[in-house]
Structure 1
Amino acid sequence: MSDEEDFFQAISNFIKGKGGPPDAHSAIVSLGEDFDPEAFAPPKISHSFKEFGAEYPVVRNALKKCRFHDCLAILSGMTTLPELQSNAYRLDVLIHLAFIYAKGKNRPQPAQIVAWFNQLDKGTCGRQEDAAEDVFVANVTFEGDTNRVFEGTGEGNRFYTQLFLSIVEHMPSNGPYLFLKNAIRAILRLSEVIADRSGLPAYCVGETVPRAHIGKPDQNFLSEMRRRVIFSHDELASLGISIDDLAPFIIQQDSIPNLADFSMGHTPLEAMPITPSKDGVIVFLPACIGLAVRHFTISYCLRTGMKKEIEEALIRAYIAHFANEGVLKTFPPPLQTQRIGNQTIAQLVKEIDSGRYLHLLFVFDNFDRFEDGSFMTSNDTDADSELIGKCINHAYQGCSAKDGFREGLTIIVPCGWGRFFGAGLQENPDHWRSEMIPSHDLLTLHHTPAFCVLDLLKILDARDRFEALGFGFIYGNGLLNLYGLLIVTES
């Protein structure tokens, strides 16, 4: 690569979170001349699918000439390729664009599929793709059966889905609950069969770095992609699945006339990842099956007036999960919850070293505002921030009053269902720190053989020393990210 290409690659890496910010001096040295920084400003990011269609007009116009079901089946099958795990973003965009524009009569050709994929490496899609951060496929259990689900790009997908499966499993198997259970059982069965057709073992890891381009596939590629995600009526019957059972997850191409106005991560397709075909159905977003199960369960309970019941059931599921799995190398007694207004918390305080205290603060999310935007909503950040601040101060007062107190750490553990959880953390008391870590990351640390609770203090001590020297840290994935860095540097 030339010096100029190196420079642009550095900018690309920074935009994708893979490097530090470029500075003007480095740019001048790389290019050998002065330049206007505004000239290197990245183009505007597309958000709605209307904007994606405008950004990629060649792809949009080609899709208009192609048959919907053929485009959808091929692109959906490509999401099951482990070598394209880190390209999930652009494949999801292509699938949504196919839903909006593919209304022609031509069958897409291999060269077209390759060209569409490769063109999306430029602009928004290429910039939004990042390295895969989870396994490609994972197991969930429901009513004694194990099924493989695709992790997709949703953080903690398998973890949250399993929590909801545990909730539904404990519901009665009659009346309105039977409809819920039959639907979930059916879509999980399809997920398992897709993973089997694709030859994907549980917990396999695909390509962890996004591919910029792919080459022309062999002549069997298109038929193989279709085979993975299309189910005929006869195949459904042989699996013991009825269309009625799948109905909550089925959507027609023209069901959402304003689909182009939606944005990635907030579309009806993600909650309904199946569409009817001439002879059966196509599972066009296999990686959204876990999210679809959660969305359907929450929606069904809210629609039938069971908001309080599903919130209480989620809390019980978390308590049972931590009791069975343990927390940070310990197996404490079942968490005792506290209800404060509209919020529910649980707390544990433990001396982990002489004079050093760990305060675990579990904050349980509710389903307020779910109907306003489902997984794109967030918790009540103001109320939760205030409560978290009071809990930290209370823990500090109790621990700092003890003889030999040296320091303390509060780990805030959001116990949610997959939406964003935010909190503005106040300034900590002297000799006290606070960090937030999602429940599934907490369990990952717990199950990491080499992990020791005191490692948390080591990580934060090292970070604070670097920051005191003027270095900044960007770690979007939180403490687990920093612990991974610790492992790499010490190995």
Structure 2
Amino acid sequence: MNKPSLSPEDLMAMMADIGGRTDLGPIVAELETCLRDTQSFDPLRLAATFGGLLTVPELQSNCLRLEALVHLTLAVGDGRSKPNRKIVGRLFEEAGQGRIGFKEDPAEDIFVTLIVTPRGDFRVLEGIWESAGFYLQRIVNLLELLPVGDLANQLREPVYALLRLSDVVCQRASLARYQLGSDKRAEALPASVLNTVSTWAEIVSFTEADFKEHGIALEHLVAFGFPADQRARLPTRRLEILLWSDFRSCIAMASSASFCRRRPVPPFADSSLR
């Protein structure tokens, strides 16, 4: 399929959002037909599949595309069908042929960074952000300087809950600290990924028993709770970073939205999405 030509208006719009944010509205319009075909799929399963693909080192430079697809499939899906290689591969390829594809840049840092704390070390995916681990480490160091007390704990405990969640995801994906990713932008998903498409959601899916096993208290994630009634508004947002989980099937992944950056862990069961 030939890539669509850009009109002067499209070019100006792309230049306007070069600063790191991407409006999802025009992307929804570009992918209208493909997104319509996703409505029969379970939104959590499909979004979780793309969330799982964020743990594939070879797809590091496709981070922006995958984050957008997590965002949009969570918003649009309204059925119960399980993701298959056809819809996942098609969404990935078509998303790369428009604005998102033009904005994909080679990754500027390692794939997996390490955050060192008094409570242990935690692996974190850097995505495409240069020195993301450096700045996150400084924030954690600052939290550790706060005096002991209830107020400081209210800030520290949710942060450590998210760090533990991130480390477990990396463990499930067999990712090592300081692991390199790829600076090559993939046009299509590798056959090895498509052939195992049913397994990727498992990497970022958690039961309450899983949380308990890894010492993650659900109440520490509530502070980041994303309201289920905001789901339909996701396509109107701008791309940022999202880490979210469903309290029943408990999905955790990376995605995108400025609103979700503030409240990135939606505490809803999948029944509330219907």
* Shared fold, TM over 0.5: yes
State the distance in 2 between where 1:122 and 1:139 align. Answer: 33
Aligned to 2:230: 255
State the distance in 2 between where 1:199 and 1:101 align. Answer: 31
Aligned to 1:274: 244
State the distance in 1 between where 2:235 and 2:255 align. Answer: 21
1:160 aligns with 2:129: no
Give the secondary-structure state (helix, strand or coil) at the position aligned to 1:86. Answer: helix
Aligned to 2:202: 227
Aligned to 2:151: 176
Q: Which has the higher strand share?
A: 1
Which protein, 1 or 2, shows the higher relative CO under an 8 Å CA cutoff with sep ≥ 6? 2
Aligned to 2:177: 202
**Shift in Å, 1:287:** 9.9
1:141 aligns with 2:78: no
Identity of aligned residues (%): 24
State the distance in 2 between where 1:247 and 1:220 align. Answer: 36
Give the secondary-structure state (helix, strand or coil) at the position aligned to 2:182. Answer: coil
What are structure 2's unaligned runs of at least 5 residues? Answer: 15-21, 264-274
Map 1:79-94 to 2 at 5 A.
Answer: 79-94=54-69
Aligned to 1:329: none
1:115 aligns with 2:90: yes
Contact 1:137–1:203 (CA<8 Å) still a contact in 2?
yes
Contact 1:82–1:205 (CA<8 Å) still a contact in 2?
yes
Map 1:232-247 to 2 at 5 A.
Answer: 232-247=207-222
Contact 1:149–1:191 (CA<8 Å) still a contact in 2?
yes
Aligned to 2:43: 68
Give the secondary-structure state (helix, strand or coil) at the position aligned to 1:147. Answer: strand
Larger radius of gyration: 1
Give the secondary-structure state (helix, strand or coil) at the position aligned to 2:123. Answer: strand
1:211 aligns with 2:186: yes
Aligned to 2:71: 96
Contact 1:99–1:253 (CA<8 Å) still a contact in 2?
no
Aligned to 1:187: 162
**Shift in Å, 1:153:** 2.6
Contact 2:70–2:256 (CA<8 Å) still a contact in 1?
no
Contact 2:71–2:255 (CA<8 Å) still a contact in 1?
no
What are structure 1's unaligned runs of at least 5 residues? Answer: 1-7, 13-38, 297-491
Call closer, same or farther: CA 1:135–1:287 in 2, change over 3 Å: farther
Q: May I ask how many residue pairs the two structures share in their alignment?
A: 251
Q: Which moved more, 1:179-188 or 1:47-56?
A: 47-56
Give the secondary-structure state (helix, strand or coil) at the position aligned to 1:276. Answer: coil
Task: Select 1:284's aligned residue among 233, 253, 256.
Answer: 253
State the distance in 2 between where 1:120 and 1:207 align. Answer: 19
TM-score, normalised to structure 1, is 0.47
